[in-house]
Each structure stands twice: as structure tokens, then as C-alpha cells.
Amino acid sequence: MITIPAGVRVLLATQPVDFRKGAHGLAALAAEVLGEDPFSGVVIVYRAKRADRVKLLMWDGSGLILVWKQLQHGAFEWPPIIDGTMRLSPVAFAALFDGLDWTRVQSVRRIPTPSIAA
């Protein structure tokens, strides 16, 4: 299981990518097509045309990390294919990476801060 540190942005690239691309090719794709800086600490999740494979790209301060996962049975749950990216919460990312339906996972909601003292 991969855990994402608190405060790290997780972006899901909604368009399928060529899975022959390595870390540098995906970093270039993030910068040119998605408009994201892959060296900023963001985690970018890429999908293959077949929904059973996923690649994660992240920068740890000293180098690019590329994680590749293929489900043995079934497929990852993906949003509709559109241009751009979609932000995922750490909880939704964990569900997606485990092959679960991440759209059914709810993040912990913050208790609203009172604006007026009663």
C-alpha cells in the first residue's frame, strides 16, 4: 500500500497515456499537456487505455519516482475521459490504488469554524 503524506496534491490525468513512456516522458507530458510542474511534489496518476493499469509519478526532492501497478482481476474505476486533470483526496487515491470504487469513498469532513461567537 502506498500512503500519501498530508498536504500533498494528488492529480488524476483523465486522458489515457501511452504506457511505454517512462518517468521523463510522463514528466514532460505533465508540464506540456497538463500544465503541472512534476517537480513540485505533486503526485500525478496516469491511466492506460485498458483500465487495468496505472502509473504514479512523483518527485521526492532528489529524483523522479515512477510506480506501476496492474490489477490481476478487474479494472480500476475511472472518471469519464475528458481533457485535463482531476484532484483526488488521499482517501480517494488510496481506494483507487487498491482497485476499489473511489467515487463511493467520502473524505473526513471538517467541522466548520464558527464565525460569530454566540
C-alpha 112/C-alpha 5 separation (Å) is 23
With beta carbons less than 8 A apart as the criterion, state whether 48 and 17 touch. Answer: yes
Q: What is the pTM of this model?
A: 0.80
- pLDDT exceeds cutoff 60 at 30: yes
Query: Helix or strand or coil: residue 18?
Result: coil
Mean pLDDT of the chain: 86
pLDDT given at position 110: 62
Here the cell at position 72 is 490481476
- pLDDT exceeds cutoff 90 at 17: yes
Confidence of residue 23 (pLDDT cuts 50, 70, 90): very high
* 8-state DSSP, 22: -
pLDDT in tens, 63-92: 999 999 999 988 888 877 777 888 888 888
pLDDT given at position 118: 59
Which residue type occupies 108? Answer: V
Residues above pLDDT 70, as percent of the chain: 92
Taking Cα atoms as reference points, which of 68, 70, 48 lies closest to residue 58?
68
